[in-house]
Amino acid sequence: MITTVTANPSVDRTICIDSLVRGDVLRGTRSSVEPSGKGVNVTLALHTHGHATTAVLPLGGASGAELRSMLDASGAGYVAVPIAEAVRSNISLLEPDGTVTKANEPGPQLTPPEIEALAEAAITAATSASWLACCGSLPVGVAPGFYADLIARGSAAGCRTVVDSSGPCLEKALDASPDLIKPNIDELAELTGRRLHTLGDVVDAGKLVRGRGVGAVLASLGPRGAVLLDHDGVLHGEAPVGRPVSTVGAGDALLAGFLAGGGRGAEALHMALRWAATAVQQPGTLFSGADFNADPGVTITATPDLSLRLT
């Protein structure tokens, strides 16, 4: 069982347009609406491919009711914590070349009792889980140390922990020594205060983070694949994709695939890259019906070229 926590879930609307012209009336060619938020995306990807998972999230307002309805229709397991304010709605504008322009609402403001109820629901769900995944941004009213507290409590309950977040929230989470973090290039650069131009820069930054007590670092590198740093060393993997449709949700698919593959080593990284490559070939964030088992030609190496420039 893998438990995900999404403190700031959303209803995501994707509108396909011919081109983005500021100040113009943009006419969509097609559109879709999906349940979303990083942890929700991870749970949906896992559920789609038969892995036991439960999403823990706050729900409130009309958008919360819409999100609940979509989760019910998906069949994925979830625990909803009632809140007074409405969850956010996000909009993605998708152009034919794969360029995505996103507009994300800030989300609701949670009260102290709602925050505590969310934390309790997460730890209760994690007691029977192998992984507790703390994913995404935090809504207004939630302190940056929220995920750090969940990591400490989850670890005490015997659950492995992973964080996929950014900024102060990710920084605070390191103090709780999570088993895994999954930053992208920008998030890793911000976390370490370094400029990351090459694969070697990423490896050095990952080692710096591991020196703070983090078990492993799974860094997503966009077209350059991903790097895994743990106590066994360094692995770099790539999965070529001819023409991405949308990169939205690719990082969530990467994390879901890694956890589904066992959460460590080359086999898990291979599955992570397969799932991510599948995700970028679809619009939106859902992966229903996608063949995650198809191998796009994933390559994994334990002796990567550290001079490789990042795109």
Identify the active-site residue in 12, 164, 230, 252.
Answer: 252
Burial zone of 5 (CB within 10 Å; 0-12 exposed, 13-18 middle, 19+ buried): buried
Q: Which residues contact 300 (CB under 8 A, 6 or more apart)?
A: 235, 236, 237, 266, 269, 270
Nearest-angstrom CA–CA distance, 137 and 248: 15
Count the Cβ atoms, other than its own, within 10 Å of residue 206.
Answer: 25
Count the Cβ atoms, other than its own, within 10 Å of residue 69.
Answer: 11
Clarify whether 201 is annotated catalytic: no
Nearest one of 269, 154, 182, 172 to 212, comparing CA atoms? 172
Rounded to 5 degrees, φ, ψ at 86 are -80, 140
Cβ–Cβ < 8 Å for 216, 179: yes
Q: Catalytic positions, please?
A: 252
